[in-house]
């Protein structure tokens, strides 16, 4: 039934990240990602730019409060909610102040919250000095197959799987539009926030981001390299809380009906150019 889900197409619009030191994290995103900060409520702030938006909330460090996906029509949001309910999935009230009243949320078996709605701010987007559209979020989980099945029920489409030699599933990538993945999961001992990614426009943008970070004496944590699944150029850097932030470019595009591929669990899969960050 997922082929008929009203989810498609949907794009990641913003994340809520929790921190036990919000002023420090806000300073990082304001300076390094060049975002404007405004207070939403006591203990919650919005960071906005051109195509990257975040909510920072007071809470546990390295926490992913929610991933919020934008859908272009409130009627389609309502249709998705009806579809999701018919799948036997419990619907919750939307936790984000950045979407309209039609928005709703769901929680996967690990408690990760996904929100679907239409953005409230329809003003013309500002142009980011350094291009980087918020594009995907990733979690670690000991319940990988359950999280895949849950997202497929919502209407996400499986793009790639990674398996060990004995057939054990170690990673999966799912899409909600023609970009290779807007959600991904890696097998880890405990549930955790893994990273988020911003999609730049070209290899030159990757260079300019790295020069920007270098000028601030912020070292790259991984890369530059090229992923196997997604075929995207990338590097990663740690924010002030230790959350991994990816800058990516040239991510693969896939038709909705394109069948998923299988990759071997090895460093080469995660980085075709060399060293890999292996979660398991």
67-71, 105-109, 112-116, 119-123, range with the lowest pLDDT: 119-123
pLDDT higher than 90, residue 122: no
Burial of 4: CB neighbours in 10 Å, binned 0-12, 13-18, 19+: exposed
pLDDT higher than 90, residue 121: no
pLDDT higher than 90, residue 126: no
pLDDT higher than 50, residue 276: yes
**pLDDT band for position 19 (cuts 50, 70, 90):** very high
Phi and psi, residue 273, nearest 5°: -100, -10
pLDDT higher than 80, residue 217: yes
Domain boundaries, the chain: 8-117, 133-270
The 10s digit of each residue's pLDDT in 236-268 is 999 999 999 999 999 999 999 999 999 999 999
The CATH number for 8-117, chosen from 3.40.50.300, 3.30.200.20, 3.10.180.10, 2.40.50.140, is 3.10.180.10
CATH superfamily of 133-270: 2,3-Dihydroxybiphenyl 1,2-Dioxygenase, domain 1 (3.10.180.10)
Percentage of residues in the chain having pLDDT higher than 70 = 98
Mean pLDDT for all residues in the chain: 96
Mean pLDDT (whole number) for 3-27: 95
Q: Between 124 and 167, whose confidence is greater?
A: 167
121-125, 168-172, 204-208, 213-217, range with the lowest pLDDT: 121-125
Percentage of residues in the chain having pLDDT higher than 90 = 95
- Cα separation of 262 and 275, whole Å? 20
Using an 8 Å Cβ cutoff, are 227 and 219 in contact?
Answer: no
Radius of gyration of the chain from Cα atoms?
18
**pLDDT band for position 2 (cuts 50, 70, 90):** very low
The 10s digit of each residue's pLDDT in 60-96 is 999 999 999 999 999 999 999 999 999 999 999 999 9
DSSP state at residue 2: G
Mean pLDDT (whole number) for 156-174: 98
**pLDDT band for position 49 (cuts 50, 70, 90):** confident
pLDDT higher than 80, residue 55: yes
DSSP H or E run through 270: helix 267-270
Collapsing DSSP states into helix, strand and coil, what is residue 9?
coil
Q: Which pLDDT belongs to residue 125?
A: 66
Instruction: Strand 92-93: give its sheet, edge to edge.
Output: 36-41, 44-48, 53-58, 11-19, 63-70, 113-117, 104-107, 92-93
pTM of the model: 0.96
Would the CATH topology of 8-117 be identical to that of 133-270?
yes
Instruction: Strand 133-141: give its sheet, edge to edge.
Output: 222-226, 233-238, 244-249, 192-200, 133-141, 183-187, 169-175, 157-163, 261-264
pLDDT higher than 70, residue 124: no
> Of the candidates 134, 150, 172, which has an alpha carbon nearest to the alpha carbon of residue 50?
134
pLDDT higher than 60, residue 3: no
- Cα separation of 20 and 185, whole Å? 25
- Cα separation of 225 and 232, whole Å? 8
């Amino acid at each position: 039934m997922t082929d008929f889900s009203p989810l498609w197409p949907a794009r990641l619009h913003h994340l809520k990240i929790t921190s036990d030191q919000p002023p420090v994290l806000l300073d990082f995103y304001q300076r390094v990602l060049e975002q404007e900060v405004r207070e939403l409520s006591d203990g919650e702030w919005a960071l906005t730019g051109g195509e990257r938006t975040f909510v920072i909330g007071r809470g546990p460090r390295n926490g992913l409060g929610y991933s919020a996906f934008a859908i272009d029509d409130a009627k389609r949001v309502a249709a998705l909610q009806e579809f999701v309910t018919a799948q036997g999935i419990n619907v919750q009230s939307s936790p984000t102040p950045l979407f309209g009243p039609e928005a709703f949320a769901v929680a996967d078996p690990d408690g990760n919250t996904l929100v679907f709605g239409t953005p409230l701010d329809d003003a013309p987007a500002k142009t980011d000095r350094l291009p980087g559209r918020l594009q995907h979020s990733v979690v670690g989980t000991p319940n990988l197959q359950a999280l895949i099945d849950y997202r497929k029920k919502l209407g996400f489409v499986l793009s790639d799987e990674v398996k060990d030699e004995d057939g054990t599933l170690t990673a999966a990538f799912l899409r909600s539009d023609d970009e290779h993945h807007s959600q991904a999961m890696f097998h880890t001992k405990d549930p955790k926030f893994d990273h988020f990614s911003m999609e730049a426009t070209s290899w030159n943008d990757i260079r300019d981001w790295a020069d920007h970070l270098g000028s601030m004496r912020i070292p790259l944590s991984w890369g530059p390299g090229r992923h196997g699944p997604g075929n995207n150029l990338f590097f990663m850097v740690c924010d002030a809380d230790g959350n991994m932030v990816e800058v990516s470019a040239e991510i693969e595009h896939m038709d909705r009906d394109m069948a998923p591929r299988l990759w071997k669990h090895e460093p080469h899969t995660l980085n075709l150019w060399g060293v890999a960050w292996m979660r398991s």
